[in-house]
C-alpha cells in the first residue's frame, strides 16, 4: 500500500523549533522530487520547500528561507523539514507530497499541480 505519513508537528512557542518527517512506503519514492506545503485555516495550500530525488537541489518559499531546511535520507524514503525560529504565521497543517510524474527529474516544483500524491498532514501551531 502506497503511503506518505507526516509526523513531528505540535505546539511550540515563537522562536522555537520543530522537525517534521515524511515517511514514504509502498513505492519508489526515492526516485521522486518531494515537497512540503502548508495550509492555514481559510487559506489555500502554499508551497514551503522541495527537494530533488537525489537531494542535490532544493527550493524554499521566501517566507521560510533561512529558517527552514529540507533534507532526505540516503535511501530517499524519508524527507525532513527542520523548522527553526518559528513564527505564529507558520501555523498551518503541513503536508508532504511526491512528484511521481517525472522520476529522476532535476525539477523541484513549486505548485500544487506538480505533485500527485499527498500525505495526510500534520498540525503545526506556533504560539505568541
Residue 26 has pLDDT above 90, yes or no: no
Query: How do residues 89-125 score in pLDDT, each as one tens digit?
Result: 999 999 999 999 999 999 999 999 999 999 999 999 9
Residue 76 has pLDDT above 80, yes or no: no
Measured over all CA atoms, what is the biggest interatomic distance in the chain, rounded to whole angstroms?
Answer: 41
Query: How do residues 31-49 score in pLDDT, each as one tens digit?
Result: 999 999 999 999 999 999 9
pLDDT at 28: 83
The CA radius of gyration of the chain, in Å to the nearest whole number, is 13
C-alpha cell at 93: 497543517
pLDDT at 94: 98
Position 55 confidence tier, pLDDT thresholds 50, 70, 90: confident
Amino acid at each position: 500500500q502506497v503511503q506518505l505519513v507526516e509526523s513531528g508537528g505540535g505546539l511550540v512557542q515563537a522562536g522555537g523549533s520543530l522537525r517534521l518527517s515524511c515517511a514514504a512506503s509502498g513505492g519508489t519514492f526515492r526516485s521522486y522530487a518531494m515537497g512540503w506545503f502548508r495550509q492555514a485555516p481559510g487559506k489555500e495550500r502554499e508551497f514551503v520547500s522541495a527537494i530533488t530525488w537525489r537531494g542535490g537541489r532544493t527550493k524554499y518559499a521566501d517566507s521560510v528561507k533561512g529558517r527552514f531546511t529540507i533534507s532526505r535520507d540516503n535511501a530517499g524514503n524519508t524527507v525532513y523539514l527542520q523548522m527553526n525560529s518559528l513564527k505564529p504565521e507558520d501555523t498551518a497543517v503541513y503536508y508532504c507530497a511526491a512528484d511521481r510524474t517525472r522520476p529522476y527529474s532535476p525539477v523541484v516544483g513549486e505548485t500544487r499541480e506538480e505533485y500527485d500524491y499527498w500525505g495526510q498532514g500534520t498540525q503545526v501551531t506556533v504560539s505568541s
